[in-house]
Structure 1
Amino acid sequence: MSIDMTTFGAILAMAIVTYFTRIAGLFVADRLVLSGRAKAAFDAIPPAVLIAVIAPTALTTGWAEAIAAAITAFVAFRLPLLATVAVGVVSVVLLRGVL
């Protein structure tokens, strides 16, 4: 197996840029003073990214997963994280067995 140096260089460059953008975010975020709407927008980023990752999978894999995702989202407002994860896992297992 031979390694194409152009491809290897491109992958290495992308890895370096990705690493530095993540590190830069940590350094810049500590220096930002946010208030009001900007703080609310930054606080909404983690749940928005989580939904953007989970929703396509939950809604395209089948009815059991979609219903389990809805149950888990409902429970997430009332229970702590570990209990929410447990309810999600149990609900998807049970629904896969039933549906």
Structure 2
Amino acid sequence: MIPLSTVLTILAMLAVTYTTRIPGYLFLRDRTISPRLQLMMEAAPGCILISVIAPHFVTGHPADLIALVITMVAAARLPMLPTVIIAIVAAGLLRQIL
């Protein structure tokens, strides 16, 4: 069972993330943006995600470390959604096995 404090923390992070992203999209909706700016805006969610989950991997649990490597390989080759799905599945399966 996931502790209530964890669920509330995740929901708070979700709210803050979208609260900071929505004004940017509203501000830029009628403007043409450069490919460089668009790439930066698309990369920002990944940076936020890794900053939240990275400290968890210093635990040294083998399943988490292997899942991190799998996720990094997937992230180098795939878009965000498949990478997140692969990461979740890898972490879940490896935690059951190891």
Provide TM-score, normalisation by structure 2: 0.50
